[in-house]
Amino acid sequence: MDFFRNFPFISIVFSLFSAVVCSLLPGKAARIWTIAAEAILALLSAGTLLYTVILGESVTYRMGHFGAPWGNEIRFGMLEALTALVFALVLLLSVTGGARYVIRDVPPKKINLYYLLINLLGAALLALVYTNDIFTGYVFLEILTLTSGGILMIREIGRTTLAATRYMILNLLGSGLFLLGIILFYDVTGHLLMPDMHEALLELGKSGEYALPLSVTTGLVCGGLAIKSGLFPFHTWMPDTYGFATPTSSAILSGLVSKGYIFLLIKIMTRVIGLDNPILTVARNILFLFGLLGIVAGSVLAIRQNSVMRMISYSSAAQIGYIYMGIGLGGTAGFAAAIFHLLTHAVTKPLLFLSAASLMEVSGDSPVFHDLQGAAHRNRGAGFLFTVGAMSMIGIPIFAGFTSKLLFSLAAIGHLPFKTFSVLVILAVSTILNTLYFIRTMIRIYTSPEGKKEDRTPFGPQLSCVLSGSVMAAMNVILGLQSQPVLALIERGLALFS
Amino acid sequence: MRNLVYNYEEAVAVVLFGIGFVTLLFHRNLIKKIIGMNIMDTGVFLFLASMGYVKGGSAPIYAENADFYVNPVPAGLVLTGIVVSVSVTAIMLSLAVRLHQRYGTLNLDEIYRIAREKINER
Amino acid sequence: MRIVDRIRRWLSESPDLLEDAGGIGETRDLPREVMRREQHEADRFLSEGAKSFDRKKFRTVYGILAAASAAILIGVLLTAVAALPRYGVENERMDEVADYYIDHALEDTGAVNIVSGMILDYRAFDTLGESFVLFTALNCVLILLRRDEPGEEGEDDYYDLTHDNILRKAGLVMVPSVILFGFYVMLNGHLSPGGGFSGGAVVGAGLILTAAAFGNAVSARIVTEKTFRILSGTALGFYCLAKSYSFYTGANGIESVVPLGTPGSIFSAGLILPLDIAVGIVVSLTMYGIYRMFRKGSLT
C-alpha cells in the first residue's frame, strides 16, 4: 500500500515518457499507445485517490533527494487525487470518443504528433494538479498552453490557424502576467515552495511589510490565470477556437485546459496566499464581479448564435463565470461549489462537443441549426447524449449541473446581502437563458422538417463516440446523484489543501 | 520615489515589461506583437537578474578567491524563462509564416477581413 | 401579440419557438447558403463602413488607449517596485534558500557550478519540464511547417547562400570550432559556466551554420531524419528515465548508486554530466530542426 504514494510521480513521468515514445511511432500505434497510457493514468489516479482516502491526510512527496525548502515537491490529498482522476478519465474518453475526428481532420502523417501532444497535455495537467512548487507550476502551465495551442493548430484550415494565433496571443499575455507575479512573490518571500511562501507571507502580514507589492502581485497572478482560463472579458477567443478546432481538441480545450489553470489559481489562493489573508479580498471581489458579468454575457451571446458549436463555446464562457463566482464567494462552501462545478463542467462540456460533432456529421458537417434539423433521429445515440449534456447544463435534477447550481446558491447565503442577492438573481436569470438556448437546440434536433422521413439509425456511424459519451453521461449522473460523498471528499480535501 | 532610484534596474525592467505587454496586446502587426512578447520576457529576465544580484558578489561557481556569491536561484529561473521564451517565439513565428502563406499579410485586421470574405472555405 | 402569434405558429407548423429570440431579426435561421451570403454582405458593409469612417481618428483613439493602458500598467508596477527590497543589497528572506545552495551544493551534488547543481539536482523537476517545453515547441513547429506530401517541398532559393564565397570559406573554419566549443561548454556544465542548454544552443548554431553555408543537402547528410528522430527520442527518454530514478530513490529514501566523484574532475557530480549531454543533444537538435522547418519544411 505504501508504494501507492509513488503513483502521482509515476503518472506524470510516465505521461512525459509516452510523449517521447509517440514521437517514434506511426500514427495508428501512437493512438493505441495513447489510449492505453491515458487508461493507465486513470488507474494510477484512482489508486492515489484510494490511498489518500485511506490515509486521511495529504502527502508531501519529494522530487529528488532534497526536501523543503530546497528541492521540488509534489503534494496530494483527496482533492488533488479526485481532480486528477476526473481529468484523466475525461482525457481518456475524449481521445477514444474523438479518434474518428482526429483521423478526419489531421493530416495522416501528423497523427502521431497529435497524440504526442495529448500525452504532454495530460502530463502538464497532472503536474499542475499535484505540484507544490509555484515555479514548477509555471513551467507546466507553459507546456499546457503550448500543447493546447498545438492540438488546435493541427487542423490545416485558415480559420483554425487564425483562431490559434488569437488563442496563443491572449494566453501569452496571461503567462507574462503570471510569471511576473510569481517572481514578485519570490522576491518578497524568498521561497518557491508553496507552504514556505505561505509562512513568509503570514509573517509579512503580521509586520505589515510589503503590503503594496503583495496586492499588486496577487492581482498579477489572478489576472494572468483569469485571462488564460477565459474569464469575461477575455472569453473572446473561445468561439473561434472551439468552433474551428477538430471536435476532439474542442472537447479537451474546453473541458480540461481551462480547468487546469483554475485549479492552479485555487491552489495558489488557498495554499500560498491563504483564504483569510486580507490581500486576497479585493482580487476575489473583482473575480466575483467579472464572473457574474461572464455568466450573463456568455449566456446572452450563446442565444444569438446560429451555429451549435459557437453556442456551446459561449456557454463555456458562462460556465467559467460560474466557477469564478464560486471562487469570489470564498469560504469553504464557495470553493467547494466552485470545484464541484469545475468537475461537473469537465465531464459535461466534452460530452456536448463530441455529441454535437456526431450530430453534425450526419447533417452534412454543418454546425448551423437549420441543417441540424432532425439530426437526433439520424443518430439517436448522439441525440440522447446531447440531451443529457444539455439538461445538465440547464440544471435539471438528477444531473450534476443541478447540484452545482444548488451548491452555489447555498454558498451564497450568509454573505453580505448584496452578494447573496446578486448570486441568486444571476443564477435564476442564467438558468432561464440556458434553458432558452438549449431547449431551442433540442427542439431543433428532435423535429424533422415536414413531410420528410428521416432514416433512423441508432448510433450513426460513430459507435466509439457514443460509447465514450455514455460513460461521460454516466459520470455526470453519478456526480448528480451521489453528490454528497463527492462533496464530502472535496471538503475534506479542501481542509487538507492549505 | 527615492526607492525607485535605488531600484533602478527593477524599475527599468517593469517599464520594459509594460511596453512589451501593451505591444503584444494592441499592435495589429503579428511580427510586432511577437517582438512585443520578447520585450516583455526580456523585462522579466532583467528583473530576475537584478533581483538576485548582491553588490560585489561573484558568479555562483566555486572559486578560491571569491568572498561571497550572488543568489543562484534567479539564474536558474532565467534559464527556464529563456527556454520557454525561445519555444514560444518559434511557435508564434511559424504561425506567422502560415498566416502569411494563406492570407498574404501580417496585419491581423486585414487577415480577419479576408478570412470573413473567404467564409465559404470552412 | 407577436408572442401569441408565434406560439400558435409553433404549434401548427414552425418547428422553432425561439426563431428570433436573439433579437437580430427574422432572418435568423435561413439555409446555410443564404446565411453565408448575408453574412458576407454584412461583412462587406462593415468593412466599407470602416473605410469611410475616419480611420485616422480611430488610429488616434486606439493609440491613446494603448498608451494609457501602458501608463497604468507601468505605473502600478513601478509603485510596487518602489516598495521592494533594495537592489544589490542582500535580502535576508531570500538568503535562507540561496545560502543553503551556496554552502551545500558542492557536497550535495558534486557540482562546482552552483547553478548547474541547482537546476539539475535540487530543482530537477522544473528542468525536466523545461526540456519538454522545447520538445513541445519542436513538435508544434513540425505540425505547422512540415510538408509531408512529395512535391510540396518549398523552394529555398530565397535563402540559398551556398554561392556566397565569404560564408563558405568562413564556414569551413568556423563550423568545426563552433561545434567543438559547443561540446566543450556542454561537457563542462558542472565545472564552469555553461551546461546542456547553452552548449546545446552553440552546437545547434553550428549545425545551422552548416546548413546555411553548405546547403541543405550537406547538413541533411550529417543529421538525417532518422538520426534526428532517434537521437532526440533517445536523449529525452534517457533524461526522463534517469531523472525518474533519482526522484524515486530520493522520495523513498533509497541511496542513489550514482557516485558523486571528486569535485572538479570531469567525471564527477553524479548524474549531472550525462543529463547535460542529453539536454544538449535535445536543445541542439531542436534548434536545428526549427531552422530547417522554417527554411524548407523538411529535414531531408
Q: Do C130 and B69 touch (CB under 8 A)?
A: no
C-alpha grid cell for residue A77? 490529498
The string of DSSP letters for C194-218 reads: --HHHHHHHHHHHHHHHHHHH-HHH
DSSP state at residue C113: B
Which one of C123, C130, C153, C191 makes the best mutation probe of the B interface by having the most chain B beta carbons within 10 Å? C130
What pTM was computed for the model?
A: 0.91
By Cβ distance, the residue of B24, B47, B73 closest to A172 is B24
Q: How many CB atoms lie within 10 A of CB C53?
A: 9
Cα–Cα dist C39/C57, whole Å: 27
Dump the DSSP string for chain B: -HHHHHTHHHHHHHHHHHHHHHHHHH--BHHHHHHHHHHHHHHHHHHHHHHH-BTTPBPSB--TT-S-B--HHHHHHHHHHHHHHHHHHHHHHHHHHHHHHHHS--BHHHHHHHHHHTGGG-
Shortest Cα–Cα distance, C93 to chain A (Å): 5
CA atoms within 13 A on the CB side of A168: 31
Residue A133 is given by DSSP the state B
pLDDT, tens only, C256-288: 777 777 777 777 777 888 888 999 999 999 999
Q: CA-CA-CA-CA torsion for A298, A302, A304, A310, nearest 10 degrees?
A: 120
**Does C19 contact B at CB distance below 8 Å?**
no
CB contact under 8 A, B4 and C78: yes
- Domains plus CATH for chain B? 2-121 (1.10.287.3510)
Name the amino acid, one letter, at C113: N
User: Model ipTM?
Assistant: 0.93
Nearest to A90 by CA among A459, A479, A440: A479
Tell me the average pLDDT of chain C: 79
Which residues of chain B are within 8 Å of residue C114 when distances are taken between CB atoms? 60-62, 69, 72
Chain A residue whose CA is closest to C282: A20
Q: Where do the domains of chain C lie?
A: 2-53, 111-295
Nearest to C112 among B14, B18, B62 (CB): B62
Grid cell 517521447 in the structure block, residue: A20
Q: Give the amino acid at A433.
A: L
User: Cell 578567491, residue?
Assistant: B65
Q: How is residue C153 written as a grid cell?
A: 517541398
Among chain B residues, the shortest Cα distance to C101 is held by B72
Number of Cβ atoms within 10 Å of the Cβ of C49: 9
Instruction: Indicate yes or no: CB of B9 within 8 angstroms of CB of C145.
Output: no
pLDDT at C1: 62
Contact A257, A129 (CB under 8 A): no
**For the ranges A266-270, B90-94, C31-35, C67-71, which has the lowest average pLDDT?**
C31-35
A-contacting residues in C 15-34 (Cβ below 8 Å): 15-18, 21-24, 28-32
Selected residue of A151, A169, A360 to mutate for chain B interface (largest B Cβ count, 10 A): A169
Interchain pair A180, B99: CB under 8 A: no
How far does C108 lie from chain A, in Å, by closest CA?
9
Q: pLDDT class for C151, splitting at 50, 70, 90?
A: low
Give the whole-angstrom CA distance, residue A381 versus residue A359. Answer: 9
Beta bridge partners of A59: A76
CA–CA gap between residue A370 and residue A479 (Å, rounded): 33
Mind listing the pLDDT tens digit for each residue in A83-93? Answer: 999 999 999 99
Confidence of residue C21 (pLDDT cuts 50, 70, 90): very low
What pLDDT, in 10s, does the model give residues A148-181? 999 999 988 888 899 999 999 999 999 999 999 9
Inter-chain touch C66–B26, beta carbons under 8 Å:
yes
**pLDDT, tens digit, for every residue of C152-197?**
555 555 667 777 888 889 989 999 999 999 999 998 888 888 888 9
Burial C110-138, CB ≥16 within 10 A → b, else e: bbbbbbbbbbbbbbbbbbbbbbbbbbbbb
The answer to whether C113 contacts chain B (CB < 8 Å) is yes
- Which chains are adjacent to chain B, needing at least 3 Cβ pairs under 8 Å? A, C
- 3-state secondary structure at position A232: coil
Considering CB atoms only, which of C18, C122, C256 is closest to A71? Answer: C122
pLDDT of residue C85: 79
A276 lies within 8 A of chain B by CB: no
Provide the CB-side half-sphere exposure for C291 (13 A, CA). 21
**pLDDT per residue as tens digits for the range A213-240:** 888 999 999 999 999 999 988 888 888 8
Q: How many CB atoms lie within 10 A of CB C143?
A: 26
- Tell me what the mean pLDDT of segment C100-109 comes to: 81
Strand partners, B107: B29
Name, in order, each residue with C-beta under 8 angstroms of C38's C-beta and a sequence gap of 6 or more: C27, C30
* AA letter at A77: G
Grid coordinates given for A99 = 479518434
Cα separation, A41 vs A91, whole angstroms:
10
DSSP state of A107: -
ω into residue C176 within 30 of 0, thus cis? Answer: no
Mind listing the pLDDT tens digit for each residue in C46-58?
A: 555 444 455 677 7
A vs B: CB pairs below 8 A: 79
